[in-house]
C-alpha cells in the first residue's frame, strides 16, 4: 500500500515510515523542508513530497492509497500553531483525502481528548485534537484514531494495553510502539471506524489489534 505520512519528520512519524517500509508498504513522506528528505529515505521512504500544512497540500496526495496523519505543532509552540497544524491541518488533510478518493485514514491523536476539561496545562491542544478527531469521524473515510498516552524514547516493548478509554493511566508508551500500532492498523479492517487509547501493557501488539 502506498501511504502518505503527513508530518513525516516528527519523532513518531519517522519511526512509522521505517515500520511501514519493513511491513512491505511504500511510505510517501510529506515534509516542509527538503533537507529532511535524505534521512527519511534511509528509513525507507519511497518518495519525499514537500508540502506545508499551513499552505496548499493537494499535490502531496497523488497516487496515494492511504494517509497517516502524524503531524503536530510541537510542545514549544503556542496555541496559534496548535490550531493551524493539529486542528486546521488535520481537517485539511481529511478533506483532501476525500477529494482525492482516498478511503483509508489513520489519525495519530492523544489520550485525554475524551474530556479536555480534565487538563489545564494542555487543554487547548486536547481540544484541537478532539475537534479534529470528531471531524474525521463525521467524514466518509475508513478511519482509525489512535490515542497514545505519554510518550517515551525507550526501545519498543511490543506489549500494550488497548481500550476505548483507559481509566487507570499508570503507564507510558514508547514512540516505537506507537509507530508499530499506526502501521499495524493500516490494513486491519476490524480497526475501521474505531477509536482507542494505548499504553504499554501486557498484550502483544498484534493480538491487541486483532481484538479491536
| 143 among known catalytic residues | no
Q: Which of 6, 73, 71 is nearest to 45 (CA)?
A: 6
What superfamily does domain 2-210 belong to in CATH? NAD(P)-binding Rossmann-like Domain (3.40.50.720)
Domain boundaries, the chain: 2-210
> Quick one: pLDDT at residue 182?
98
* Residue 194 burial (C-beta neighbours within 10 Å; 0-12, 13-18, 19+): middle
Average pLDDT over the chain, rounded to whole? 95
- The pTM of this model reads 0.96
Q: Which of 125, 23, 16 is nearest to 70 (CA)?
A: 16
> Quick one: pLDDT at residue 75?
59
- Asked whether residue 50 carries a pLDDT value surpassing 90, the answer given is yes
Pairing of strands 159-163, 203-204: antiparallel
Active-site entry in 125, 135, 143, 192? 125
Amino acid at each position: 500500500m502506498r501511504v502518505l505520512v503527513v508530518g513525516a519528520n516528527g519523532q513518531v512519524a519517522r519511526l512509522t515510515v521505517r515500520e511501514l517500509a519493513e511491513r512491505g508498504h511504500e511510505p510517501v513522506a510529506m515534509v516542509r523542508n527538503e533537507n529532511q528528505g535524505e534521512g527519511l529515505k534511509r528509513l525507507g521512504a519511497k518518495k519525499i513530497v514537500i508540502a506545508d500544512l499551513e499552505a496548499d497540500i493537494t499535490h502531496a496526495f497523488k497516487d496515494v492509497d492511504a494517509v497517516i496523519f502524524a503531524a503536530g505543532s510541537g510542545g514549544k509552540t503556542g496555541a496559534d500553531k496548535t490550531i493551524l497544524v493539529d486542528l486546521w491541518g488535520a481537517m485539511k488533510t481529511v478533506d483532501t483525502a476525500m477529494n482525492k478518493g482516498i478511503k483509508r485514514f489513520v489519525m495519530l491523536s492523544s489520550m485525554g481528548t475524551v474530556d479536555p476539561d480534565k487538563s489545564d496545562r494542555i487543554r487547548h491542544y486536547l481540544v484541537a485534537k478532539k475537534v479534529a478527531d470528531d471531524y474525521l469521524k463525521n467524514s466518509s473515510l475508513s478511519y482509525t484514531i489512535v490515542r497514545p498516552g505519554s510518550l517515551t524514547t525507550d526501545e519498543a516493548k511490543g506489549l500494550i494495553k488497548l481500550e476505548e478509554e483507559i481509566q487507570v493511566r499508570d503507564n507510558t508508551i514508547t514512540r516505537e510502539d506507537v509507530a508499530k500500532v499506526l502501521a499495524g492498523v493500516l490494513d486491519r479492517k476490524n480497526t475501521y471506524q474505531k477509536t482507542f487509547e494505548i499504553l504499554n501493557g501486557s498484550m502483544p501488539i498484534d493480538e491487541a489489534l486483532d481484538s479491536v
